[in-house]
A and B are shown apart, each in its own frame.
Chain A
């Protein structure tokens, strides 16, 4: 059974600092790994998706890496802004059309 863990559970940084969010998973046989953002009381917004054959994906200030052999993915957010304050969730997909297994999330606060 896949288990996904995100550490730390909460993170507070001053504006401008780079953010590093960690995600680990126990079963390396994944189809892809997806990073989401969730604002308080809201739904999920997909940020980046990394296919199992890929090592990283980039979108603007966001970069996500994937190391299947070690069961880890890292989300980097460069030059953080107060608007980046949210909860970030990673989720592993076992197979196409299958369910996502979510980590517990990292709650990020970027202080002006």
Chain B
């Protein structure tokens, strides 16, 4: 299994600012995924981050709003830019192992005032 560390675990931010969330994995993985979970909702995929290439964004999510970095096979960051209260959510990173089972970090709980 993979152990995933996410930082910060929670934050309260002001409207118009940006927050960068870090995701560290204890083993090398090809693909990392970033999800958003809005209050009372299920998870929605934001983007898939492959090392050495641009992230692939899902419909409704754009790079200017959610820039992603993937500098190596164990680390990725997601930035939530120019935040508004609608961005208040739990953000989770996950990795796939062996191409099938996926493991999740503990999530970052973001509140935007």
Contact = CB atoms under 8 A, between A and B. Distances in A.
Task: Answer whether A and B are interacting partners.
Answer: yes
Interface of A: 31-32, 34, 36, 41-46, 49, 51, 89, 91, 93, 96-97, 99-100, 102-105
B112 interface: no
Contacts of A97: 30-31, 96, 99
Interface of B: 6, 30-31, 33, 41-45, 48, 58, 90, 92, 94, 96, 99-107, 109
A1 to B, nearest CB: 10
A36 B104 CA distance: 10
9 contacts: A41-B109, A46-B102, A49-B100, A97-B31, A97-B99, A99-B45, A100-B33, A100-B45, A105-B42
A99 B33 contact: yes
Contacts, number: 59
User: Which of B30, B99, B103 has the most CB atoms of chain A within a 10 A radius of its CB?
Assistant: B99
Contacts of B94: 44, 100
A41 to B, nearest CB: 6
Contact of A31 (B100, B104, B106, B109): B100
A39 B41 CA distance: 14
